[in-house]
């Protein structure tokens, strides 16, 4: 009897899918221009869902619990851009700039920077005989400097280009020097590295100085620097939550349900604070590049939408490379398979998971920013994006990175074509109906995790 019910359900599900596909084909023959417009819209929206689902999948497949802060990170990214770029040209001041909020983010940044410094260099300094007090002092100095720097950026966003262009130049210089060094050691691993380090430092400093100056002199660079700051803040908060709360709860409670409830409280609290600070009315973000629509075969397409699709694909490739071909990726996969065994073989699971939470929050914030530039932002957008990312993960195959990318685009296309003869408000209902269908008939998704 159970087998008959299962076969009947599968037949019904495939029949619904075929009927929906035939309906879409019929509508396309009626209005190819409208179909092309829905395709463009579906790809743009699906790219955001895919980006959210990719980061969500990374976190879930590592620690195996739903971190609901992920939705708050998406909203933090979007509202961070508004916070940093909401300059009132008539009043000569920023519309929203809260000293207490700036201080809180500065303190969180200081704590995370001090912890990162300790984890990165503490063991080496101890091996060289450095005293514990000296190490703590170094961590404190680095953390304090990072916190003060973040406070200046948040308090004086009108000076963002001047404040951040030197930092970007230094980062570029270090990356160029490191890449030249690694390439040199890969080709001639037995040769002295001193000459290439010197040459790399010169080349890196030259390139970094050029890029820093270019950013400083470019009009509109502040908007895109605010993207980086907002994503960084979201990642810092995500790392701090794991290190300061989740790690403790995982050791004490040993129950994903407790962590789920805690992350729900964080999501609701941050949503409430967002409403208090920014009010509940929708807010537009400043126009980014590619905002002017192009007309292609009777359909409108914006260059920014193409950029959004590209970001989701590049984000997927970058994360796939990191997970497949780096030591960090091997550690992440080992922790996802068995965390206790990973500890036994010497993996610092606390650090690796903290980085995973940081990266996942950055992906969520970037998704929120891209969504916010396409539609107005509002305090509850994080919860909705979280749910859409989760639905995309279920559709594609929860825990599967390929499935996250595919599920995001599938969800976006189904949403858009589903409202062909309906009002736009039906999109969310269509998404949740799709979720129910997949949980009922294809719980493993299109690409099940192996």
pLDDT for the residue 91? 46
Q: What percent of the chain has pLDDT over 90?
A: 22
Mode of pairing for the β-strands spanning 93-94 and 87-88 = antiparallel
Condensed to tens digits (0 to 9), the pLDDT of residues 281-302 reads 888 888 888 778 888 777 788 8
Q: Quick one: average pLDDT of 73-85?
A: 91
Mode of pairing for the β-strands spanning 299-302 and 293-296 = antiparallel
Q: Quick one: average pLDDT of 102-112?
A: 93
Residue 118 pLDDT exceeds 70? yes
Q: Quick one: average pLDDT of 249-278?
A: 83
Confidence of residue 170 (pLDDT cuts 50, 70, 90): confident
pLDDT for the residue 7? 56
Q: Highest mean pLDDT: which of 69-78, 121-130, 418-427?
A: 69-78
CB 239 within 8 A of CB 359: no
Confidence of residue 93 (pLDDT cuts 50, 70, 90): low
CATH number corresponding to 42-89+255-450:
1.10.3470
Q: Highest mean pLDDT: which of 8-12, 146-150, 201-205, 444-448?
A: 146-150
Confidence of residue 445 (pLDDT cuts 50, 70, 90): confident
Q: Quick one: average pLDDT of 124-132?
A: 81
Q: Quick one: average pLDDT of 437-449?
A: 81
Residue 24 pLDDT exceeds 50? yes
Where in the chain are the domains?
42-89+255-450
Confidence of residue 16 (pLDDT cuts 50, 70, 90): low
Q: Highest mean pLDDT: which of 108-117, 199-208, 428-437?
A: 108-117
Q: How many residues does the chain have?
A: 450
Confidence of residue 87 (pLDDT cuts 50, 70, 90): low
pLDDT for the residue 400? 85
pLDDT for the residue 89? 44
Q: Which pTM was predicted? A: 0.90
pLDDT for the residue 367? 92
Confidence of residue 108 (pLDDT cuts 50, 70, 90): very high
Q: Quick one: average pLDDT of 173-200?
A: 70
pLDDT for the residue 151? 92
Residue 166 pLDDT exceeds 50? yes
Condensed to tens digits (0 to 9), the pLDDT of residues 354-402 reads 999 999 999 999 999 999 888 888 888 888 999 998 899 888 888 888 8
Q: Highest mean pLDDT: which of 338-347, 387-396, 421-430?
A: 387-396
Cα-based torsion angle of the residue sequence 240, 244, 245, 249 in order, rounded to the nearest 10 degrees? 140
Q: Which residue has the tokens 């961590």?
A: 139
Residue 44 pLDDT exceeds 60? yes
Q: Average pLDDT, whole number, for the chain?
A: 83
Q: Quick one: average pLDDT of 310-317?
A: 92
């Amino acid at each position: 009897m159970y087998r008959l019910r299962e076969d009947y359900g599968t037949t019904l599900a495939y029949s619904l899918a075929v009927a929906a596909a035939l309906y879409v084909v019929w509508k396309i023959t009626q209005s190819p221009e409208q179909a092309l417009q829905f395709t463009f819209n579906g790809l743009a929206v699906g790219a955001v869902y895919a980006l959210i689902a990719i980061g969500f999948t990374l976190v879930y497949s590592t620690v195996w619990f739903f971190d609901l802060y992920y939705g708050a990170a998406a909203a933090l990214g979007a509202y961070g851009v508004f916070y940093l770029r909401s300059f009132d040209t008539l009043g000569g001041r920023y519309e929203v700039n809260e000293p207490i909020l700036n201080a809180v983010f500065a303190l969180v940044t200081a704590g995370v920077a001090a912890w990162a410094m300790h984890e990165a260099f503490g063991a080496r300094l101890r091996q060289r005989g450095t005293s514990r007090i000296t190490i703590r002092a170094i961590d404190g100095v680095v953390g304090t400097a990072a916190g003060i720097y973040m406070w200046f950026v948040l308090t004086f966003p009108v000076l963002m280009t001047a404040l951040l262009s030197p930092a970007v130049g230094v980062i570029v210089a270090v990356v160029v020097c490191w890449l030249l060094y690694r390439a040199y050691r890969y080709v001639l691993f037995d040769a002295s590295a001193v000459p290439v380090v010197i040459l790399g430092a010169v080349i890196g400093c030259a390139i970094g100085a050029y890029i820093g100056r270019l950013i400083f002199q470019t009009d509109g660079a502040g908007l895109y620097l605010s993207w980086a700051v907002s994503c960084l803040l979201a990642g810092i908060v995500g790392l701090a939550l794991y290190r300061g709360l989740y790690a403790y709860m995982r050791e004490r409670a040993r129950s994903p349900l407790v962590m789920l409830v805690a992350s729900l409280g964080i999501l609701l609290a941050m949503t409430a604070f967002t409403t208090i600070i920014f009010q509940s009315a929708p807010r537009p973000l400043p126009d980014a590049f590619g905002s002017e629509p192009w007309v292609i075969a009777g359909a409108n397409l914006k260059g920014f939408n193409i950029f959004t699709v590209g970001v989701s694909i590049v984000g997927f490739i970058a994360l796939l490379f990191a997970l497949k071909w780096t030591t960090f990726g091997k550690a992440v996969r080992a922790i996802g398979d068995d965390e206790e065994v990973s500890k036994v073989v010497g993996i610092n699971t606390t650090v690796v998971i903290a980085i995973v939470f940081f990266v996942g929050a950055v992906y969520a914030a970037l998704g929120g920013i891209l969504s916010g530039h396409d539609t107005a932002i509002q305090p509850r957008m994080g919860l909705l994006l979280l749910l859409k990312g989760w639905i995309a993960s279920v559709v594609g195959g929860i825990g599967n990175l390929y499935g996250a990318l595919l599920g995001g685009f599938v969800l976006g296309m189904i949403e858009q074509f589903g409202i062909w003869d309906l009002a736009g408000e039906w999109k969310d209902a269509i998404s949740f109906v799709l979720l129910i269908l997949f949980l009922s008939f294809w719980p493993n998704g299109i690409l099940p995790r192996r």
